[in-house]
């Protein structure tokens, strides 16, 4: 079970919309979160810009929206996965989830942070 709290932050999607640079602390915190999740052989599966919040008052980032996690190489993405979102090419509706998919999203986030540096 994952228990979430209310977070007063802006999503990476909102920062990009506002043309606000994405601080490098976002990448550091998301990397750490993915490392902890992957150590448990879990794939987040939905590491997208709307699900990463930057909390400026605390200079930190948090990952939200844990309704898809699954076991690496075992569990599947939802059949309703929106293919118009930005995914690694082998992420498919009802496809097998893999840590590599989270890492691909992490690389994309790294590019966003460097653009905002």
- Cα separation, 51 vs 12, in Å, equals 8
Domain range 10-116, CATH class: mainly alpha
Classified as helix, coil or strand, 37 is helix
Per-residue pLDDT tens, the chain, 117 aa: give them. 666 678 889 999 999 999 999 999 999 999 999 999 999 999 999 999 999 999 999 999 999 988 899 999 999 999 999 988 999 999 999 999 999 999 999 999 999 887 655
- Cα separation, 114 vs 66, in Å, equals 26
- Cα separation, 43 vs 82, in Å, equals 18
Q: In the chain, where are the structural domains located?
A: 10-116
Q: Torsion-angle region of residue 65: left (phi > 0), alpha (psi -120 to 50) or beta?
A: left
pTM of the model: 0.89
């Amino acid at each position: 079970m994952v228990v979430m709290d209310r977070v007063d932050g802006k999503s990476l999607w909102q920062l990009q919309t506002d043309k606000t640079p994405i601080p490098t602390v976002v990448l550091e915190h998301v990397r750490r979160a993915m490392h902890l999740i992957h150590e448990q052989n879990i794939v987040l599966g939905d590491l997208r810009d709307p699900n990463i919040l930057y909390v400026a008052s605390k200079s930190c980032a948090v990952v939200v929206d844990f309704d898809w996690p699954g076991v690496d190489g075992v569990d599947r993405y939802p059949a309703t996965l929106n293919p118009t979102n930005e995914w690694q090419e082998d992420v498919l509706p009802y496809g097998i989830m893999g840590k590599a998919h989270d890492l691909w999203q992490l690389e994309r986030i790294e590019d966003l942070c460097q653009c905002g540096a």
